[in-house]
């Protein structure tokens, strides 16, 4: 079976980093781990081609070659996902789809014309699909309430990737999260019992990446890497040895709950394995909103203290924040800015709250009749809130624009990045030095030109850089990389402002029209 795997295009997002990737001659931050795992689960007698639409288009030769087209992706990829289904069907191809988007919103995919819906987790539903294909069936829906053991998951087909196009590789150690945040769809898709691979299993995946010549960053894509602390410590103890034996070829980052700060041993192990950054779901400094959305773990200890512990342990924090919780008081955006500044968090992912399909939040709002266009999904940092909040939409949107604009003011960003790196714990492992490539040198020169000469923040750039070299020299290169991110945020905050203002104007116009239609 000649199988064409298509990964749909992303719109510009907080994580796109186009300006940064251009500097190092790469096109995309991360590869489609789901699709290359699908390729590993399907019969290895099948032939596979992978087209990541974020890198290149599907060629006529690809379409002509394919007997079966498989797509996977997330809700944010919806537009291109549906377009590729329709293009494949126009060409008379069998189309199978799976992943978070089809699993969450199967009716949209059926309407688009997909033949096979391979939903939930592929370790169980892909074999069901293969049996149907072998019986000669040309359509079907495959679902299961069962959560498979990820110890059965084969090594992803990393060989299908155009490795040089990606800035980092992706690996997965666990699925699921033990918490119950009302707005989160991870526990809907993967359950609340974290399932982990064995340390030996994950190390084999790293062996394969190493054999393929990969020597850069690796993102542990787990939605909560420390969901099963016992098992993750077993992994880290084995990984620490593997990294030392291979002379630290990879640097890691991941996502974790903020209670990471309560476990010094765990943080030390991560740093010893060459983890240098962690994404934290902080959401809001307002304790009442955290309580309402059932993010109880963030109220167990002071958040500022937790972030400080993580930084001093040697892990740079990235953090997610949300505006629009029920009962939220005006000025929530300003309180988030104050928190981000006090905590010295360089990159803060900031979004308006969105009700995701099948979450506890979705169910509650549906019962209350508060969902807006419940069959329409287009969720991003540039999307207006998709339900009726407890304070005016206009107020939330205007506060959101202002907060995003202030968070990524170039001077503020540079200043808090400096304060973060000034106290960032030094690395506990020391990879051997390598001769920088021409691309690395070119990127360095571009960053220094833009940040050190072109921007109005140039004096602070030099002042802070020399201070880091003097007071915390072990992290100067990591710090300079974060300075470069300023280029992306300068552009992206304008995208957010323009798109939200446009949607807000449309919302106000629709609201005014409805009010004129209401009889006196």
What pTM, to 2 d.p., does this model score? 0.94
With 0-12 CB in 10 A as exposed, 13-18 as middle and 19+ as buried, what is 245? exposed
**Distances in whole angstroms, Cα of residue 25 to Cα of each of 146, 158, 439, 451, 514:** 42, 20, 7, 19, 50
pLDDT confidence band for 453 (50 / 70 / 90): very high
pLDDT confidence band for 431 (50 / 70 / 90): confident
Instruction: Please give the distance of CA 301 from its chain centroid, rounded to a whole number.
Output: 26
DSSP state of 305: H
The C-alpha torsion from 477 through 481 and 486 to 487, rounded to 10°, is 130
For 347-360, how does the pLDDT look when each residue is reduced to its tens digit (9 = 90+)? 999 999 999 999 99
pLDDT of the residue at 381: 80
* Percent of the chain whose pLDDT exceeds 70: 98
Q: Which residues does residue 251 pair with via DSSP β-bridges, in sequence order? A: 217
Least trusted range by pLDDT, from 16-25, 44-53, 326-335, 461-470 = 16-25
Angle at 141 between CA 135 and CA 146, to 5 degrees: 105
pLDDT confidence band for 264 (50 / 70 / 90): very high
pLDDT of the residue at 59: 98
Residues 191 and 61: their CA atoms lie apart, in Å, by 40
pLDDT of the residue at 433: 76
Which tokens go with 297? 């773990």
Residues 502 and 87: their CA atoms lie apart, in Å, by 30
pLDDT of the residue at 143: 97
* Percent of the chain whose pLDDT exceeds 90: 86
Angle at 450 between CA 446 and CA 451, to 5 degrees: 115
The CB density around residue 518, as the number of other CB atoms within 10 Å, is 6
User: Does residue 519 register a pLDDT over 60?
Assistant: no
pLDDT of the residue at 518: 54
How much is the mean pLDDT over the chain?
Answer: 94
For 180-232, how does the pLDDT look when each residue is reduced to its tens digit (9 = 90+)? 999 999 999 999 999 999 999 999 999 999 999 999 999 999 999 999 999 99
User: Does residue 377 register a pLDDT over 70?
Assistant: no
Q: What is the mean pLDDT of residues 101-127?
A: 95
Residues 301 and 252: their CA atoms lie apart, in Å, by 26
Residues 161 and 319: their CA atoms lie apart, in Å, by 29
Question: Which ranges in 387-475 belong to alpha helices (H)?
Answer: 393-407, 410-423, 438-449, 458-471
pLDDT of the residue at 509: 87
User: Does residue 378 register a pLDDT over 70?
Assistant: no
Q: What is the mean pLDDT of residues 82-90?
A: 97
Burial string for 397-427 (b: 16+ CB within 10 Å, else e) reads bebbbebbebbbebeebbbbbbbbbbebbeb
More confident residue, 441 or 243: 243
User: Does residue 484 register a pLDDT over 70?
Assistant: yes
pLDDT of the residue at 134: 96
pLDDT of the residue at 517: 67
Least trusted range by pLDDT, from 19-23, 141-145, 321-325 = 19-23
For 2-34, how does the pLDDT look when each residue is reduced to its tens digit (9 = 90+)? 999 999 999 888 878 887 888 888 999 999 999
**Distances in whole angstroms, Cα of residue 226 to Cα of each of 78, 263, 281, 478:** 30, 10, 13, 24
Sole residue written with tokens 């963030």: 298
User: Does residue 375 register a pLDDT over 70?
Assistant: no
pLDDT confidence band for 376 (50 / 70 / 90): low
Looking only at the bridges linking them, the beta strands covering 140-142 and 168-171 are: unpaired
């Amino acid at each position: 079976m000649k199988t064409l795997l298509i990964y749909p295009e992303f719109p510009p997002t907080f994580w796109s980093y186009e300006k940064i990737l251009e500097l190092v001659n790469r096109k995309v931050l991360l590869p489609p781990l789901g699709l290359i795992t699908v390729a590993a689960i399907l019969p290895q007698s099948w032939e596979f081609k992978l087209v990541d639409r974020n890198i290149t288009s599907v060629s006529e030769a690809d379409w002509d070659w394919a007997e079966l087209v498989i797509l996977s992706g997330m809700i944010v990829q919806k537009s291109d996902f549906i377009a590729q289904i329709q293009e494949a069907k126009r060409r008379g191809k069998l189309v199978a789809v799976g992943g978070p988007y089809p699993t969450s919103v199967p009716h949209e995919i059926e309407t688009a014309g997909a033949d096979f819906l391979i939903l939930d987790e592929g370790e169980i539903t892909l074999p069901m699909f293969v049996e149907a294909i072998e019986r000669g069936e040309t359509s079907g829906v495959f679902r299961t309430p069962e959560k498979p053991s990820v110890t059965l998951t084969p090594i992803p087909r990393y060989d299908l990737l155009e490795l040089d196009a990606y800035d980092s590789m992706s690996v997965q150690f666990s699925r699921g999260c033990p918490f119950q945040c009302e707005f989160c769809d991870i526990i809907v898709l993967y359950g609340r019992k974290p399932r982990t691979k064995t340390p030996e299993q994950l190390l084999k995946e790293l062996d394969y990446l190493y054999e393929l010549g990969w020597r850069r960053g690796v993102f542990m894509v787990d939605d909560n890497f420390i969901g099963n602390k016992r098992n993750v410590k077993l992994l880290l103890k084995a990984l620490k040895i593997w990294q030392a034996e291979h002379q630290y070829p990879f640097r890691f980052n991941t996502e974790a709950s903020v209670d990471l700060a309560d476990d010094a041993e765990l943080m030390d192990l991560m740093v010893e394995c060459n983890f240098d950054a962690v994404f934290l779901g902080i959401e809001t400094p307002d304790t009442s909103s955290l309580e309402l959305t059932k993010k109880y773990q963030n109220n167990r200890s002071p958040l500022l203290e937790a972030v400080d512990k993580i930084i001093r342990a040697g892990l740079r924090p990235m953090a997610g924040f949300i505006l629009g919780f029920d009962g939220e008081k005006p000025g929530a955006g300003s309180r988030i800015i104050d928190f981000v500044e006090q905590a010295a968090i360089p990159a803060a992912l900031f979004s308006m709250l969105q009700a995701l399909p099948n979450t506890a939040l979705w169910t509650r709002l549906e019962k209350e009749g508060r969902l807006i266009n419940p069959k329409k999904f287009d969720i991003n940092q540039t999307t207006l809130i998709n339900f009726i909040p407890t304070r005016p939409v206009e107020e939330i949107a205007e506060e959101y624009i202002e907060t995003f604009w202030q968070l990524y003011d170039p001077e503020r960003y540079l200043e808090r990045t400096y304060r973060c790196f000034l106290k960032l714990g030094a690395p506990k492992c020391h990879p051997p030095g390598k001769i920088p490539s021409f691309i690395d040198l070119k990127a360095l020169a571009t960053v220094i030109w833009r940040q050190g000469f072109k921007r109005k923040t140039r004096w602070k750039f030099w002042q802070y850089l020399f201070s880091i070299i003097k007071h915390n020299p072990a992290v100067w290169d990591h710090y300079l990389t974060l300075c470069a991110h300023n280029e992306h945020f300068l552009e992206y905050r304008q995208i957010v402002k323009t798109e939200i203002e446009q949607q807000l104007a449309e919302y106000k116009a629709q609201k005014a029209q409805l009010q004129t239609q209401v009889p006196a």
